[in-house]
Chains A and B, each alone.
Chain A
């Protein structure tokens, strides 16, 4: 842990803290003794070579995996034993490295499904079409259309999500996640499959998301992008944190250089 990181941390309230987490798959140790935290409103990146355990860390934090050891806490609440949907209800929302869309629905309908948390009403009132439900539905439709515009997919609203380019699908994934009203967003390689200009736009989108007060934990292989957008960076290698700090610190960290030169940065 670097001095800069240690100095920076007390300034913000902690949103997420990962405490001595280990994840074993049989004999394979995907993560060992991982400890880091993300402050409210921060943009933190989790980087590392392929197979370092980044996605596994996301799966642990969002309840898709139960850690072998250790604890994850979000806003003071332990997530131990919680199901993914319950964790989502705390406002902790993620995207996925691979498919992060409902392929057979339009972009607009994808976002509408994403608004599930906001749209929850009793079955009976919605089947009866009570005025309250109709108002809510109208509000959701409005909200979905706005979000689609907001991420820059307005022209694609009525196309099937599965028919979009890989980069556009990533955007749908982000819009969907935003629809779930996160207080913290975990993005797993959001710009893979995007070209340079799409990536550039996406960086601005991430900043806009943060400006909405949403804390961000980012996994990404695109180093220039990570360096430009992150407040802090956590570097994983073979399931261990080998460095943590601001982009400037990480850039010059010998252990990080060693890890990347040793393996080469693969663009997954």
Chain B
């Protein structure tokens, strides 16, 4: 049942470009897809460990900048007369390094704040995002500051014996984003159903009890932060190579808020939540634009948010699970039922 629904959804998404050729809409789907990946990564922290990262876009932006700079090359002077020159590398290397660097930042932020947690983590993440934004804005030699990094090459993957494939068109990028999103979804699903996921759940529900049975708080939360930040950095990399231009605006707080809205409305702590919330709030502006003035769009956006949370305080997916109990195994965040093998 669960597997079937997953296959149907992925197949339906894969079939979209067959009937939808409007480049504007395809573009909206691609950027929404990228943000859905970001929202999924945020959900890993917020929904499965209860830690709110209000600077999550920092990891996205770092991924975008690192990937862009790796593939564009750069030359900077550092203190003590050091001069670093980096020749352009393939975009795929940029993607990998973006994931690693973002993951490392997640590690540092986690280490710094998980000793105290809660509000402290929220503040550290907000500050971190602001600091990174200021660096991107002011380290002009490296990032071009407000002038933006331009001419970022498209993503490119080499197949041994078959040559290089360049994700040049919107269609290519659509499938690239879909593929990465599915991979991230599976990764997160596996993680939260593993023993690490159980430890995260235990910590979220009753930390004292979790600690008393041998669960390591700092280690578990830091791991979640690393994976979450790494995935978000990967999404940032996709964004950079698709949009081909990035500036410090990518770090805007509103982008984090958008991800939080996607997670909360879809249902935090459910695997499908960020996807559902992400598609709704990612595509809503596109749907509203032809029929409404910009100010009215924001009002509609806000109203939709309020209405959803009023009717379904825990989000859309948990509400659906409650209304249609038979659907429960489809998105249940918990663990496999006894005796039934999971095929996540």
Q: Chain A residues in contact with chain B, CB under 8 A?
A: 62, 64, 83-85, 88-89, 93-94, 96, 99-106, 108-109, 112-114, 116-117, 119-121, 123, 126-129, 133, 137, 140-141, 144-145, 157, 176-177, 179-180
Contact = CB atoms under 8 A, between A and B. Distances in A.
A102 B187 CA distance: 25
B336 interface: yes
A180 B195 contact: no
- Chain B CB within 10 Å, residue with most, of A100, A123, A144: A123
Contacts of A64: 208, 212
B209 A176 contact: yes
Given A85-B211, A119-B195, 17 more contacts: A64-B208, A83-B211, A89-B214, A93-B213, A94-B212, A102-B201, A102-B205, A109-B198, A116-B214, A123-B194, A123-B196, A126-B191, A127-B191, A137-B195, A141-B336, A177-B212, A180-B214
Interface string B213-230: 111110000010000000
18 contacts: A62-B212, A85-B211, A85-B216, A85-B217, A93-B213, A94-B212, A102-B205, A102-B206, A102-B210, A103-B206, A112-B198, A113-B198, A113-B199, A116-B195, A116-B213, A123-B194, A126-B191, A176-B209
B334 A109 contact: yes
Interface of B: 187, 190-191, 194-196, 198-199, 201-202, 205-206, 208-217, 223, 334-336, 338-339
Contact of B209 (A100, A141, A157): A100
- Chain A CB within 10 Å, residue with most, of B196, B211, B212: B212
Nearest to A162: B205
Query: Do most interface residues of chain A lie in helix, strand or loop, or is the interface mixed?
Result: helix
A103 B212 CA distance: 16
- Chain A CB within 10 Å, residue with most, of B195, B199, B338: B195
A177 B213 CA distance: 7
Q: Which 6 A-B pairs have the closest CB atoms?
A: A88-B214, A126-B194, A119-B195, A180-B213, A102-B205, A113-B202
Contacts, number: 99
Contacts of B336: 141
Given A102-B209, A109-B334, A127 B187 contact: yes
A105 B334 contact: yes
Nearest to A133: B194
A176 B206 CA distance: 13
Contact of B211 (A84, A104, A109): A84
Given A85-B211, A176-B213, A123 B205 contact: no
B223 A123 contact: yes
B198 A116 contact: yes
Nearest to B206: A102
A96 B334 contact: no
A104 B205 contact: yes
A126 B198 CA distance: 12
B213 A179 contact: yes
A100 B334 CA distance: 19
